[in-house]
Structure 1
Amino acid sequence: MRIEPTELADVLLLTPQPYRDGRGLFTRTFDAAVFDEHLGIPGLSATFVQDSQSRSYRGVVRGMHGRAGRGEAKLVRCAHGAVHDVLVDIRPDSATFGRQRAFLLDDKDFRHLYVPPGFLHGFQALTPVADVCYRIDRPHDPAEDLGVVYDDPDLAIEWPQPVTVVSERDARAGSWQQLIAAQHLAPRA
């Protein structure tokens, strides 16, 4: 597994190395020892406590979601199909506060993201069906949900396809400016 930094502070792109033959392929999608060694934090991988999966249809947008409090670290990958995955840094002390980055996650190269606490996350399904798997480091607590509407003009996220469906909750999410004010997220000088 190859692990690379990204333009967003502390976000990592993990690329497994599949073995392909006449039967298809085999790949290790995660290796705790390699992950922990790369980060220099023995046992960090053992903090992941829940795995979840979503299925979305072409054009669906899920997001932009985050967690208040101490946040939530996650590993995100697309097990089937392809998604346009977007992260926005909401950590006030981060050098990349307010910046966003999009990644193509798909079932061809199996890349996935390590997203540390303090990011908004969302994606758009690019294929007829896209299955996204999430591994998170603490149980989900709906009381800590944060959200910014997917078409917020300040974030100006460029979704590559027309948006076909968003949940009612995501359509009612607040703005980037409301999130900053409510969470006291203005960057510190």
Structure 2
Amino acid sequence: MKAIDVPEVAGAYLFEPTPHADERGFFCRTFDAEAVRSVGLDPDAFVQDSVSRSVRGVLRGLHLRSGAGEAKLVRCSYGRVFDAVVDLRPDSPTYRNLACFELSDETQVTLYVPAGCAHGFQALTDTADVSYRIDRPHDPSEDVTIAFDDPELAVPWPLPVTSTSRRDREAPGLAEVLRQRGK
């Protein structure tokens, strides 16, 4: 497994595994503590694993956590998703930058999203499972959502949005979220 720097978002990484395929399917290491350690991250810091299942066109995000934030490792374990990360750390050299990726079950690439970055994705296949490894227990009082269709961010979602949560549909734009957070 190798770590690849994401230049658009300081401190973000793609962890690219080496799937071993044969007539039975494939085997792939999806987490490697040494690869995580090689870029200065603590592999023991991750305390919670979660998974979501979405259907084609479903959009989840853009989400982040207030307070100390939340770092996460994100991987599409089944299907394909269009994934977006926005750097919202005011002291970051890539503040307000957007990085977009396609994550898929074919590559099993894992994306590291640093704390303080907003994250969202859209399912590109009939079924898409996304696995998350998170560095803090979830606290709903710290949930922050930014409008996925905010023109200031201009995330190039590839499909029409077929479904999203009420929270995501009613989310304020980036300017309002930054104002509320005093940034």
| TM-score range for the pair, normalised by the shorter chain length | over 0.9
Among residues 145, 148, 170, which one is paired with 1:147 in the alignment?
A: 145
**Shift in alpha-carbon separation, 1:150–1:50, aligned structure 2, 3 A:** same
Q: Secondary structure at the match of 2:112?
A: strand
Q: Name the counterpart of 1:4.
A: 4
Segments ≥4 residues shifted beyond 2 Å = none
For structure 1, the 5+ residue unaligned runs are none
The reply on whether 1:99 has 2:97 as its aligned counterpart is: yes
Q: Secondary structure at the match of 2:128?
A: strand
Letter in 2 for 1:60: V
> How far apart in 2 are the matches of 1:53 and 1:16?
19
> How far apart in 2 are the matches of 1:142 and 1:130?
24
> How far apart in 1 are the matches of 2:123 and 2:19?
23
1:26-45 to structure 2, matched below 5 A, reads 26-36=27-37, 38-41=38-41, 44-45=42-43
Q: Secondary structure at the match of 1:91?
A: coil
Question: Which of 13-22 and 117-126 deviates more?
Answer: 13-22
1:67-78 to structure 2, matched below 5 A, reads 67-78=65-76
Q: Secondary structure at the match of 1:63?
A: strand
> How far apart in 2 are the matches of 1:98 and 1:183?
15
> How far apart in 2 are the matches of 1:125 and 1:20?
24
1:156-167 to structure 2, matched below 5 A, reads 156-167=154-165
Count of residues paired in the alignment: 182
Letter in 2 for 1:80: Y
1:67-146 to structure 2, matched below 5 A, reads 67-146=65-144
Q: Secondary structure at the match of 1:85?
A: strand
Query: Could you tell me the TM-score, scaled by structure 1's length?
Result: 0.94
> How far apart in 1 are the matches of 2:62 and 2:149?
9
Partners of 2:63 and 2:146 within 8 A in 1: yes
- Displacement of 1:25 after TM fit? 1.0
> How far apart in 1 are the matches of 2:140 and 2:178?
19
> How far apart in 2 are the matches of 1:158 and 1:18?
29
> How far apart in 2 are the matches of 1:40 and 1:99?
22
Q: Name the counterpart of 1:174.
A: 172
Q: Secondary structure at the match of 2:96?
A: coil
Q: Name the counterpart of 2:19.
A: 18
> How far apart in 2 are the matches of 1:96 and 1:66?
17
Partners of 2:3 and 2:39 within 8 A in 1: no
- Displacement of 1:47 after TM fit? 1.0
Q: Secondary structure at the match of 1:33?
A: helix
> How far apart in 2 are the matches of 1:116 and 1:150?
19
For structure 2, the 5+ residue unaligned runs are none
Partners of 2:54 and 2:128 within 8 A in 1: yes
Query: Could you tell me the TM-score, scaled by structure 2's length?
Result: 0.97
